[in-house]
Amino acid sequence: MKIVMAAAECAPFVKAGGLADVMGALPKALVEIGCEVTVVLPKYSLIPQEYQKEFTLGEEVEVPFKGQNHRCRTFSYELKGVDYIFVENDAYYDRDLIYRQPDDHTRFAFFSRAVLAVVENQRAQTDILHLHDWHTALIPFLMKKDPRYAAMNSSIKTILTIHNLQFQGNSPKSVLTEEYEMDGAYYEDGTAEWKGYFNILKTGILFADQVTTVSPTYREEILTARYGEGLETLLQQKGESLVGILNGLDTEFYNPATDLVIEMEYDETSMEGKAVNKRAVQKRFNLPVRGDIPLLAIVSRLTKQKGMDVLQELLPKLLKERDVQFILLGSGDEEVAQLFKNLAAEFPEKAAVYIGFDEDLAHLLYAGADLFLMPSHFEPCGLSQLISMRYGTVPVANKTGGLKDTVVEYDTAAKTGNGFLSDFSANESFEAALERALALYQNPEHWEIIKRNGMQRDSSWKRAAEIYAEAYNAIAER
């Protein structure tokens, strides 16, 4: 089975969020079970030179865009059995950021056409075209409705994965007609229109042969008005062709036994290193070095989705009344960031904040913290809870999406479970879940069991890759 994937970001080359982690791990897992995988990406100037200097110049591709044919160089690179193709266009991809550019719709419209140009060059070797999020979601529509791709459409099936339904690529009608060069009638008849916008993700959902999302619970949630972001009726119509496949974790990259950026490696059979990492975290953030005090951490985008409002309400009281420490690593909403800075200033002996992102520091926090907080209002899958458990850090999470699928409430009688869960109700508030965790932290016997339960959980990509392979085979045979 020959798979071509396309996405806006991919670890280790360029990363803004969880999509990059998935794109860095899933193709490798598919190769390990016998698939051939090519990943197509923009050639961002942000890609580290250590990779770019190893790129090989490939074939030029001719990209039809805005009434002209643009000849673009491509570059290839192989990593762990996966072939990567990078499409060059400095006018669009020589930027300081992957996203949040005023011409993002133009940049990814061009990339969508470029992906099709790359696939056209190797059509005979491609069975499945796997697209990710709105940036490439219009490709199934282009394949089925643009006659230039008729031959490709007859031989290649498409699958679209929704990593976060909140981001739909809403744009003016002119983006459909001018950037994608498609007939405005598709907007007028409602095919591509939604609430006065050209909705790229909605259009992709309509035309993809298969739609997946990143956890079974999130799949069920987005069929409801609460989580469906206005597209729940459309998603309900997809029926069995909408599948929830739980993300895995790159267990080679996230492995406390071999992680060279943490203070000391360890595993579930020898946990002394975790205490060493805790001391290193406390020193790094100028907090009192104490092994007896519970260290709470969060690594997150600073957005309402991630439950920052919950923490802003909970933490001042917690830090005032309880003997705990708290550290935040994240970036996002500047107003939210300032509130956490104020909290650290008010409780300098108990709280610390790092605004921004540092991959090595994130690993150290996962390794050194006792508790990891995830009060997300919704979470399609979430990787942080998987990483924290891998490092023996106990998650306290809201019961939504992939958090519900991966975090299991600890049972003191059966000694099963790997964390603590909330549903924001009066009986199961996030504060109550955290209180249960802090109470058990005082019981070393139970606490060691919880940590080891999390570390022993199989979070690898192997099972997810097998389910994707089954989906590829199913749509290829239709």
Question: Can you give the pLDDT at residue 124?
Answer: 65
Classify 272-455 by CATH class. alpha beta
Tell me, yes or no, if the two domains 2-248+462-477 and 272-455 fold the same way: yes
Q: Which two tokens stand for residue 322?
A: 């309880």
Question: Residues, the chain, total?
Answer: 478
- Closest to 350 measured CA to CA, from 303, 290, 310: 290
Second-level CATH architecture of 2-248+462-477 = 3-Layer(aba) Sandwich (3.40)
CA distance 11 to 397: 26
Question: Can you give the pLDDT at residue 16?
Answer: 87
Q: Going by C-beta distance under 8 Å and a sequence separation of 6 or more, which residues neighbour residue 116? A: 139, 142, 143, 149, 152
- Closest to 119 measured CA to CA, from 156, 83, 146, 150: 156
Contact 294, 368 (CB under 8 A): no
Crossing angle (nearest 10°) for helices 430-441 and 444-455: 110
Q: Is 274 annotated as a binding residue?
A: no
pLDDT tens, per residue, the chain with 478 residues? 999 999 999 999 999 888 999 999 999 999 999 999 999 999 999 999 999 999 999 999 999 999 899 999 999 999 999 999 999 999 999 999 999 999 999 999 999 999 999 999 876 689 999 999 999 999 999 999 999 999 888 889 999 999 999 999 999 999 999 999 999 999 999 999 999 999 999 999 999 999 999 999 999 999 999 999 999 999 999 999 999 999 999 999 999 999 999 999 999 999 999 999 999 999 999 999 999 999 999 999 999 899 999 999 999 999 999 999 999 999 999 999 999 999 999 999 999 999 998 999 999 999 999 999 999 999 999 999 999 999 999 999 999 999 999 999 999 999 999 999 998 777 789 999 999 999 999 999 999 999 999 999 999 999 999 999 999 999 988 7
User: How far is C-alpha 477 from the geometric centre of its chain's CA atoms?
Assistant: 29
DSSP secondary structure letters along 99-117: S--TTHHHHHHHHHHHHHH
CA distance 378 to 384: 14
Each domain of the chain, given as residue ranges in start order, spans 2-248+462-477, 272-455
Q: Which two tokens stand for residue 371?
A: 């508790």
Question: Can you give the pLDDT at residue 75?
Answer: 97
Question: Can you give the pLDDT at residue 190?
Answer: 94
Longest dimension (CA), the chain: 69
